């Protein structure tokens, strides 16, 4: 780490998740859970009412429930997670508990996935991770495999033991209309009483750049967002719905927040969602990363149709404009991801829109697991190296195509295949999918002339080149290896391999 001493670093606030992953179709065909679970017509998981699932972590069985119906592609918190004991014995005797089987287990969570991307692609700047973990009993070892995994990729790991249960996500794969969606049942993170809250001593963020990703623990979410607003030279926030929770603060939490942050008036801030809208966005100048569901959740603009099935162009563009209004005088870039329809970047100050589509991969793919985190992690590393370390301006087209290329590689080959060489190879194709659209309000006017009401146009039907204002193509592409130089990138590089740029 000696080469990191004088280089500005990154601090990532996030929530560790331990992903227990199963193929739901195989589980139903072969597993004991089949008599308690079926898949509905819309890909939803339908459990017998009151059912529990058991899985094992650190050689201890944990029981999740009670379960009912879970829609495909969404995330839910189990009502409770408990160890074996008197209450669960009674539920077992009723025939309502089944083992999950032998799931694949991985370190997950948006923040840890950002760490993994930075570790695989970037180097020479220190990374600090701040998060929470469960309290271990005296019979358990002090550090487990997931802490070791994260510790090996960061310069400094600051985990606060706050929770009674391990942060397990039970991930059912093979559900939903695309058959590669996930339904995730996550551990609950209940609020803490005031006496426990007052014992918390949050570590200070060391990084010049502060990243905030998915956080379920409200006290950590508030600390992270305030640190990103007040301490960072550059802040980047992944505005996931879990982070932007509308769940109201309890009296103990509100009292703790007001004591801890006396310069902020919490009398009219009733949730993390409120904190983001009323304090963070108007004061932080943070770069924002979010998808369509998160845009609707945060902005209050209807992005979907009435059945919440179709994403509408008018809702997306109006929602992005609403975010610009919420930013006030602290305008920064907004990166908006649209899944198979690609992504947009709304450029700071000028308000220019940039579009980049995805690359179609023929044949079998590795799926969509953590693809948004690959995209966000590339944005994070690019911003930090270019703006904080090199102090240079950023070409948004180059940045957007690099992030899209990382996501494309993840879909085609999986998270572990993403490195400098695979991104640089993918940038060639991503550049073909890139279009500079022009000022957002001018794009809206041109789209209305072409389509009429934009609230009747689905994202998948948009012809982005036809609503571009400039119609001109920038010179490119430019590879990470050239744009950021090898100094802050991790091998493998292209070396003598010629990358075709035409």
Q: Are 267 and 241 in contact (CB under 8 A)?
A: no
Domain end (from 190, 210, 229): 190
The whole-number average pLDDT for the span 388-409 is 95
Clarify whether residues 181 and 310 are in a common domain. no
Which residues are within 8 A (CB) of 495 and not within 5 positions of it... i.e. 6 or more apart? none
- Is 196 inside any structural domain? no
Q: How far apart are CA 483 and CA 367, in angstroms?
A: 29
Domain count, the chain: 2
Query: In the prediction, which pLDDT does 26 show?
Result: 79
Domain end (from 128, 156, 190): 190
Query: Beta strands of 283-322 (E only): which ranges?
Result: 287-291
Q: Can you read off the two tokens belonging to residue 226?
A: 């305030």
Instruction: Assess whether pLDDT exceeds 60 at residue 496.
Output: no
Q: Can you read off the two tokens belonging to residue 492?
A: 């493998």
Q: How far apart are CA 266 and CA 258, in angstroms?
A: 6
Q: What percent of the chain has pLDDT over 70?
A: 92
- Is 256 inside any structural domain? no
- Is 232 inside any structural domain? no
- Is 259 inside any structural domain? no
Clarify whether residues 186 and 293 are in a common domain. no
Query: In the prediction, which pLDDT does 501 show?
Result: 44
Clarify whether residues 379 and 499 are in a common domain. yes
Owning domain of residue 305:
287-329+331-502
The whole-number average pLDDT for the span 90-100 is 90
Report DSSP state, residue 161. Answer: E
Q: How far apart are CA 94 and CA 97, in angstroms?
A: 8
Clarify whether residues 34 and 153 are in a common domain. yes
Among residues 344, 357, 355, which one has the least CA distance to residue 411? Answer: 357
Residue by residue, what is the 3-state secondary structure of 334-382? Answer: EEEECHHHCEEEECCCCCEEEEECCCCCCCCCCCCCCHHHHHHHHHHHH
- Is 320 inside any structural domain? yes
- Is 236 inside any structural domain? no
Tell me the pTM: 0.92
Clarify whether residues 157 and 294 are in a common domain. no
Residue 2 pLDDT grade (very low, low, confident, very high; cuts 50, 70, 90): very low
Instruction: Assess whether pLDDT exceeds 80 at residue 31.
Output: no
Instruction: Assess whether pLDDT exceeds 60 at residue 1.
Output: no
Q: How far apart are CA 346 and CA 325, in angstroms?
A: 13
Among residues 236, 292, 245, 300, which one has the least CA distance to residue 273? Answer: 245
CATH number of domain containing 426: 3.40.1190
- Is 274 inside any structural domain? no
Clarify whether residues 171 and 305 are in a common domain. no
- Is 275 inside any structural domain? no
Clarify whether residues 429 and 306 are in a common domain. yes
Integer CA distances (angstroms), 53 to 47, 62, 80, in order: 10, 8, 11
What tens digit of pLDDT does each residue of 250-308 get?
999 999 999 999 999 999 999 999 999 999 999 999 999 999 999 999 999 999 988 77
Domain end (from 130, 156, 190): 190
What tens digit of pLDDT does each residue of 296-351 get?
999 999 999 887 778 999 999 999 999 999 998 888 999 999 999 999 999 877 78
Clarify whether residues 303 and 160 are in a common domain. no
Among residues 386, 350, 16, 360, which one has the least CA distance to residue 167? Answer: 16
Q: What is the mean pLDDT of the chain?
A: 89
What tens digit of pLDDT does each residue of 108-133 get?
999 999 999 999 999 999 999 999 99
Clarify whether residues 183 and 293 are in a common domain. no
Runs of H (alpha helix) within 242-290: 251-260, 272-275, 281-284
Clarify whether residues 323 and 181 are in a common domain. no
């Amino acid at each position: 780490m000696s080469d990191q001493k004088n280089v500005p670093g990154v601090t990532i606030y996030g929530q560790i998740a331990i992903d227990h992953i199963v193929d739901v179709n195989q589980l139903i065909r072969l597993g004991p859970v089949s008599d308690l679970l079926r898949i509905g017509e819309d890909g939803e998981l339908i459990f017998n009412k009151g059912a529990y699932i058991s899985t094992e972590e650190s050689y201890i069985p944990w029981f999740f429930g009670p379960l009912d119906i879970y829609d495909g592609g969404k995330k839910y918190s189990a009502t409770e997670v408990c160890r074996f004991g008197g209450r669960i014995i009674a539920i077992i005797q009723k025939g309502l508990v089944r083992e999950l089987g032998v799931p694949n287990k991985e370190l997950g969570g948006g923040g840890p996935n950002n760490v993994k991307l930075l570790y695989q692609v970037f180097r020479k700047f220190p990374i600090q991770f701040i998060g929470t973990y469960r309290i271990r009993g005296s019979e358990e070892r002090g550090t487990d495999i997931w802490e070791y995994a994260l510790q090996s990729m960061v310069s400094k790991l600051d985990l606060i033991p706050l929770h009674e249960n391990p942060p397990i996500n039970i991930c059912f794969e093979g559900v939903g209309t695309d058959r590669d969606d996930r339904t995730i049942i996550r551990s609950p993170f209940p609020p803490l009483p005031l006496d426990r809250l007052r014992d918390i001593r949050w570590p200070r963020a060391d990084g010049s750049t502060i990243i905030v990703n998915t956080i379920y623990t409200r006290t950590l979410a508030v600390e992270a967002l305030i640190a990103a607003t007040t301490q960072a030279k550059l802040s980047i926030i992944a505005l996931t719905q879990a982070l932007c929770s509308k769940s109201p603060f309890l009296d103990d939490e509100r009292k703790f927040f007001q004591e801890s942050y006396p310069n902020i008036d919490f009398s009219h801030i009733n949730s993390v969602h409120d904190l983001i809208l009323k304090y963070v966005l108007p004061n932080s100048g943070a770069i924002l990363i979010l998808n369509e569901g998160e845009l609707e959740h945060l902005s209050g603009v209807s992005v979907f149709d009435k059945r919440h099935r179709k994403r509408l162009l008018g809702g997306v563009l109006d929602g992005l404009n609403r975010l610009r209004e919420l930013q006030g005088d602290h305008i920064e870039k907004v990166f908006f991801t649209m899944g198979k329809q690609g992504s947009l970047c709304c450029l700071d100050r000028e308000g220019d829109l940039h579009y980049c589509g995805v690359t179609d991969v023929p044949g079998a793919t590795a799926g969509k697991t953590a693809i948004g985190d690959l995209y966000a992690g590339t944005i994070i590393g690019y911003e930090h190296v270019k703006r904080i370390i090199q102090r240079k301006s950023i070409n948004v087209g180059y940045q957007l195509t690099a992030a899209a290329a990382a996501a494309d590689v993840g879909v085609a080959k999986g998270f572990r295949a993403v490195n400098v060489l695979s991104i640089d190879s993918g940038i060639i194709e991503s550049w073909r999918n890139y279009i500079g659209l022009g000022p957002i309000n001018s794009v809206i006017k041109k789209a209305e002339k072409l389509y009429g009401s934009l609230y009747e146009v689905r994202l998948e039907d948009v012809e982005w080149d036809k609503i571009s204002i400039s119609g001109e193509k920038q010179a490119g592409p430019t590879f990470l290896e050239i744009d950021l130089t090898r100094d802050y990138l991790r091998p493998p590089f292209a070396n003598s391999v010629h990358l075709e740029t035409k």
